[in-house]
Amino acid sequence: MRNIQVVALGILLLWGCDKEQLAGAPEGNSTGSNSASSGSINGNESTAGIDAGTGISVWHWGSESNAYGINNVVADPAKTNSMVEQYKKYNVRRLYGGYAKMPGYLKSTIASWNKRMKKEGITSIYLIGDAQWIYPENRAAMLKEITDYYISFNKSVDDSSKMQGLHVDIEPHQLDEWSTATAQRKRELLMLLKDTYRDIKNHLLSNDIKENQLTADIPVWFDSITAIGWTSEADRNAWFTDAGRYVNGFTLMDYEVKSVDTIV
């Protein structure tokens, strides 16, 4: 059975350890756009999600300016300890880390962080993505990035220090062409997205990565025939069935949708 996770409605955990507070999320995509590669996003915000039966999941991005961006936390023992306390306070059990290229140039630091997460009972997952990856001409660069910073990292450290999954944040609706695209073109872009999942999964399997290590995120409205331009319900359902062959789990991004019933 595929794992379905819903990003929590309008809740952000603000990871300033002197400011233990909850705040309403702004409207729109609170995780920003296409920033996993740069490691610069979201200031002091991490998006919290509900993972059924296992506590809270958190998207924790990096930041060039905020002290509690994950890139600044993992390299500072004091901040690491403070962050772990925050994770434990909110019952975090799955961490999607926007480590960008850190597994390449700070391997021992990320290895130590992963080991700490595993000790605390938190699954450490590599969060990466770029909407441009759906275009076939960008796939080779995408697979190289996954190889360099996920596959090669995991093969170079012991089991206790590995990242325990790859989560791809690939959002075609953030592309420049989306806002003016026809319904038919939006459907084509989702077909490209599905092909991207396929290429990533096949790449992982060809490198002896476990079957269950690929997850992804999609907005809750991808099933809308009018929003996407599916030709029929069967056409739409076939996309989800096919995507499910490549992706082991989805995070459903609610954006400004505030009704659980609507999402369900």
Could you tell me which residues come within 8 angstroms of residue 95 by beta carbon, excluding any fewer than 6 positions away? 57, 58, 60, 87, 117, 122, 123, 124, 125
CA dihedral 241, 245, 251, 257 (to 10 degrees): -10
The distance in angstroms from the start CA to the end CA of the chain is: 17
Residue pair 117/123 in contact by the 8 Å Cβ criterion: yes
Number of C-beta neighbours around residue 211 at 10 A:
9
Q: From CA 179, how far away is CA 182, in angstroms rounded?
A: 9
Q: Please report which confidence band the pLDDT of residue 53 belongs to, taking 50, 70 and 90 as the band edges.
A: low
Q: Comparing C-alpha atoms, which of 156, 154, 196, 152 is closest to residue 172?
A: 196
Residue pair 256/9 in contact by the 8 Å Cβ criterion: no
Alpha-carbon distances, residue 122 vs 55, 125, 163, 178, 230 (angstroms)? 10, 9, 11, 36, 38
The pLDDT tens digits for 121-154 are 999 999 999 999 999 999 999 999 999 999 999 9
Residue pair 112/161 in contact by the 8 Å Cβ criterion: yes
Q: From CA 77, how far away is CA 90, in angstroms rounded?
A: 20
| Mean pLDDT for the chain overall | 82
Number of C-beta neighbours around residue 72 at 10 A:
16
Identity (one letter) of the amino acid at 76?
A: D
What pLDDT shows up at residue 113? 97
> What letter would DSSP give residue 68?
T
pLDDT: which is higher, 34 or 199: 199
The pLDDT tens digits for 75-91 are 999 999 999 999 999 99
Q: From CA 213, how far away is CA 163, in angstroms rounded?
A: 10
Supply the pTM of this predicted model: 0.80
Q: What is the mean pLDDT of residues 170-186?
A: 97
What is the bridge-based pairing of β-strands 123-128 and 92-97? parallel
Q: From CA 83, how far away is CA 87, in angstroms rounded?
A: 6
The position carrying tokens 């609507």 is 262
Number of C-beta neighbours around residue 141 at 10 A:
12
